[in-house]
Amino acid sequence: MENLLLTQEDVENLAPYATSGQLAALRAVHEHGTYWGAAEAIGKDRSNIRRDVKTVMARAARQGFAPAHDMTRTVPDGYKLKGVSTLYNGDGQVSAQWVKSTADHERQAEMMRAVVEAMKEEVPTAERTPDPSHPIHQDLLNLYVITDYHLGMLAWGEETRGDDWDTEVAETMLVDWFRQAIHQAPDSHTGVFAQLGDLMHHDGLDSITPTSGHALDADTRFQKLVRVAIRAIRRVIGMMLAKHEHVHVIMAEGNHDLASSVWLRELFAAMYDGEPRVSVDQSADPYYCYEWGHTSLFFHHGHKRKPENVHDVFAGKFRDVFGRTNHSYAHMGHQHHSHVKETNLMIVEQHRTLAAPDAHASRGGWLSGREASVITYHKNYGQVGRVTITPDMVA
């Protein structure tokens, strides 16, 4: 018989890390003293009781709570324990302890999703926009490709031998680029706003990369950055609605904005919930697809797969769409360079960015041209046109 001593204090301390079912298991073990007794008391299999208790203890330990190992100082929600160093005196008592933590990106993304879900009731939906009054080419789609925009980045031209870049410059550039691109593109039925990731330069209150923790050059607070992103994107979608009968929005996951891409998708889906002319791709998977007649369009930032080996992922994940279409095109970002590769399955294109290079790129010698394109596709014939606009042309 397996004994496990859980005091009332232990149960109370572990409760924040337990689901309702797991908390019931903890209380039963405390009351009866064994997994067997707890299982009989609440009518649950003994192995499940044991698993519940161990799961809760492991979750608490990741946050810094494991009193059996003298760990009682927890880290805040959204972070996870990185390490604990404990100094014991000659009597074996704890005399000093150092707790090291790091961001728990999965938990932060989960928290962001929960916040957005809670906000949906309060998010004001956008008012209906009048349909375009000009003639529409029903078989055409315009794809507006924006990638690696790094909103919130700070670049000083004297340091980078390029242009200055900050939040104000970036917001103006984005809106002005779309205004010119929409004007020059054909009057097509559908417009796809394909934001391919790294729209946000940093992903939280700290100006660091989400996975490696590298310091970033940032020019503003995260809350202001969020406000600017929402304002600019709403303006862009409004302009696209005046041009196209239908607007489809893709806010792809990037390596700089793993969590922000979540709230971008969810927020705009809620905001345009009452506008049937707008659809938002809410997929949590970092691979996206849009079907246009016999033409299929695929999207991925490029942080998980490279242009050389992404085509089979798209064909496998979207097997039904790929099988129904005759012309397939994949679009990627991440590297800031232009690159086109035709495989046996599709044409894969890596796009440049409109953003100016930052100090990191300049010092590393990673240089590339700056541009973005609106590409026109026909339902039956695939790509039939392209307009490429550089920052100088916008200015």
Q: To the nearest whole percent, how much of the chain has pLDDT over 70?
A: 84
**Residue 57: per-residue pLDDT:** 83
**Residue 1: per-residue pLDDT:** 42
Determine contact, residues 236/89, Cβ cutoff 8 Å: no
Average pLDDT of the chain is 87
**Residue 305: per-residue pLDDT:** 96
Q: To the nearest whole percent, how much of the chain has pLDDT over 90?
A: 54
Q: Residue 298 and residue 300: Cα distance in Å, rounded?
A: 7
Q: Residue 209 and residue 228: Cα distance in Å, rounded?
A: 20
**Residue 219: per-residue pLDDT:** 87
Question: Which range among 53-57, 243-247, 347-351 shows the weakest confidence by mean pLDDT?
Answer: 53-57
**Residue 395: per-residue pLDDT:** 72
Buried b (16+ CB within 10 A) or exposed e, 342-357: ebeebbbbbbbbbbbb
**Residue 222: per-residue pLDDT:** 84
Q: How many residues does the chain have?
A: 395
Q: Give the pLDDT band (50/70/90) at residue 111.
A: low
Average pLDDT over residues 97-117: 60
- 290-324 pLDDT, tens digit per residue, is 999 999 999 999 999 999 999 999 999 999 999 99
**Residue 185: per-residue pLDDT:** 97
- 324-335 pLDDT, tens digit per residue, is 999 999 999 999
Q: Give the pLDDT band (50/70/90) at residue 131.
A: confident
**Residue 186: per-residue pLDDT:** 97
Q: Residue 388 and residue 373: Cα distance in Å, rounded?
A: 4
All structural domains of the chain, each given as residue ranges with its CATH number in brackets, are: 1-62 (no CATH), 128-394 (3.60.21.10)
Q: What does 220-282 look like in DSSP terms, one character per residue?
A: S-HHHHHHHHHHHHHHHHHHHHHH-SEEEEEE---SS-TTHHHHHHHHHHHHTTT-TTEEE--
Q: Residue 270 and residue 200: Cα distance in Å, rounded?
A: 20
CA 53: distance to chain centroid? 33
- 155-166 pLDDT, tens digit per residue, is 989 888 989 999
**Residue 98: per-residue pLDDT:** 66
Average pLDDT over residues 229-239: 94
Q: Give the pLDDT band (50/70/90) at residue 84.
A: low
Residue 230 predicted with pLDDT over 70: yes
- 177-213 pLDDT, tens digit per residue, is 999 999 999 999 999 999 999 999 988 877 788 877 7
Residue 19 predicted with pLDDT over 50: yes
State the pTM of this model. Answer: 0.72
- 358-393 pLDDT, tens digit per residue, is 888 888 888 899 999 999 999 999 999 999 999 999
- 25-52 pLDDT, tens digit per residue, is 888 888 888 888 888 888 888 888 888 8
